[in-house]
Structure 1
């Protein structure tokens, strides 16, 4: 696939080449971060069992808007990995690539002839990252799971809500655990390889990564304190820190933990007596304070409280919808929305890469493409002749969009 931005600067990872065998969210989010920073990421997908994200609504410009975001700046190679010729293609590709990212259950890639030990024979400098729910070892290595399960088993879900565990709208274990830790691990392995020339295997467990996110409560418990539970911690219901409903059913977040912020908050709410109540430090006083704050917020509308706190610096902010957040002046000033070109022509509006670079800025070359849009180009760039490419398509090892010239070669 070619877009008008393909010749634009590629970013700080412009020399990095990645083969991405992952699906759904954790792996694709990780490789999107790499692609935004210039890496050449080839997404390898089965034509008969494509990534389910491709079917996730809503459909915009003929394809899933979620897929278009998670797979921007990546090329697509459609291959049946169970076909022996496809394995040969990967073996040929991997010699020129730096990183493999995969998300199958333990052992699947090895059975296909694409495991780390098999590919390192071809490229000893290869960095191979496996993202799974429970890791490559342990009694639950083969167990199925989703974000909510990893949050549960890691202890994180036990104290995220005052009353009972609540599913979050953002996949913390998938992204905060799997995706971000995978990116950190890949970049660390690249730094090691730069010093030594050695590749290595990276075993990323989303449960392990979620467990490591217990930075405050977990650290306290491991030092001998009682385990936290719902409603007992300072940040999960054991203090006034929390969300409060307004008269019209919206919510405000209150995080005024420091004395100077709580003083400003109490004054803005018209209740300076809350300062003395907070100072009592008893459970009864805390419950009374929470009830009083809740009653005060419930007396006025969301818009009223937005006006009250617009210029008060006290760690109190409205709970915005995605639509409101996208148009918030802070996010607009940070250029957190970008228009990304598509195959169909009209651009997608997407969230930008979240880090501001002073020099090597991210480039948004194109949104996620149709399955196999780049199959022919990837093979040609890897040294396959027109006849060899035609044979791979004819045998069903590879599929996707073909140029008229290539189709004519196949028909001769």
Structure 2
């Protein structure tokens, strides 16, 4: 059986990462996604390296399972084409700055007049309102303004530039999917469409979770290396003899006891349970000294059958070969369009009745023109 969202038809005007990641998730779940792309202004993810068989790996992944419509929205006749499509594609997702779609003649109010049940999702850096609504930004800026960066990293070196785009994906993409699906449920109950306003900064601010609760309601501002989970305790990363890293998350008493026993540090068991910063520093120093005496492979063997919340820091290539991720089908083969397969990250939600699937990697620009 196909994915759970086979009844959804989405018109996608987004580029780069946040919007395309969101519509990729929806396409994996069975939604029909038609990407509208400017033929003379190529999306950066189509050309950015590295490439696989001549196709950008970023494009192949982010736009898998979608069709591509090449259409210059500024040219005569384009508006009419979109108005025709929106009668059938009743969900729109776009990523322009506020007002751009209105200036093109295909903003929410115009499209809603054609299809009153339209669900229109706009993803922007700062949202449709507020003094920053027209301001440019990137993931690092959204995380900074949202307070996330202030309590991450090390006290001496400051916040780290992350290897993943947290605000773009965890903020923009995932919240856009949630917002769209919630609006679909509302439409099923009432027949009404609506505008869904996604700010990546809002979403990043919401990710503060426990630290945000402590600050806003408890008056306690979290700083780097001051709390249980951000480096202020022995819950941390430790370098091994071969310059790799081991993650230690043995917070609960039973786990910290096993950790200390395996590392032959029984005298440290009481320190693991202490909230005294000096005790935590002493424990971290002892763990660091012990862990650097063996290689990562040796520690993996030692902890292989021990339930102590200790795991190796793997590269992406190593993670892809880990038996847990392989058992969960988190690496899949996706058709390049010629019958050969490209390895990609799999879909992370497992449905019992309607498993997610994808047909092929991102299409060449305009390949879907003849179908529309």
Normalising TM by the smaller chain, what interval?
A: over 0.9
1:10 touches 1:39 (CA, 8 Å); kept in 2? no
Is residue 367 of structure 1 aligned with residue 367 of structure 2?
no
Question: Structure 2: where are the runs of 5+ without partners?
Answer: none
Task: Supply the distance in 2 between the matched residues of 1:148 and 1:280 (Cα, whole angstroms).
Answer: 35
In structure 1, distance between residues paired with 2:305 and 2:167: 35
1:335-350 mapped onto 2 (5 Å cutoff): 335-350=329-344
Shift of 1:224: 2.2
Would you say the 8 A contact 1:61–1:344 is kept in 2? no
Q: Counterpart of 1:143? A: 135
- CA distance, structure 1, for counterparts of residue 363 and residue 116 of structure 2: 31
User: Is 2:177 the counterpart of 1:195?
Assistant: no
Contact 2:268 2:283 survives alignment (8 Å): yes
For residue 73 of structure 1, the aligned residue among 32, 55, 65 is: 65
CA drift of 1:98 comes to 1.7
The within-5 A match list for 1:39-188 is 39-163=31-155, 164-188=158-182
Q: Measure the CA separation in 2 of the matches of 1:346 and 1:62.
A: 13
Q: Distance in 2 between matches of 1:170 and 1:333?
A: 24
Q: Deviations over 1:43-97 (max 9, x none)?
A: 1100011210001111112111111111011000000000121111001000111
Q: Pairwise mapping of residues 230-379 of structure 1 onto structure 2 (< 5 A)?
A: 230-378=224-372
TM-score using structure 1 length = 0.88
Show structure 1 runs of 5+ residues with no match. Answer: 1-8, 379-412
4+ residue runs over 4 A deviation: none
- Report the equivalent of 1:16: 8
User: How many pairs were matched up?
Assistant: 370
Q: Deviations over 1:178-232 (max 9, x none)?
A: 0000000000000000000000000000000000011100011111232001111
Q: 1:35 aligns with which of 9, 27, 32?
A: 27
Q: Secondary structure at the match of 1:216?
A: helix
SS at match of 2:266: coil
Q: CA RMSD in A?
A: 1.0
Aligned equivalent of 1:3: none
User: What is the CA-CA distance between 1:302 and the residue it aligns to?
Assistant: 0.9
Offset of residue 279 of structure 1: 3.9
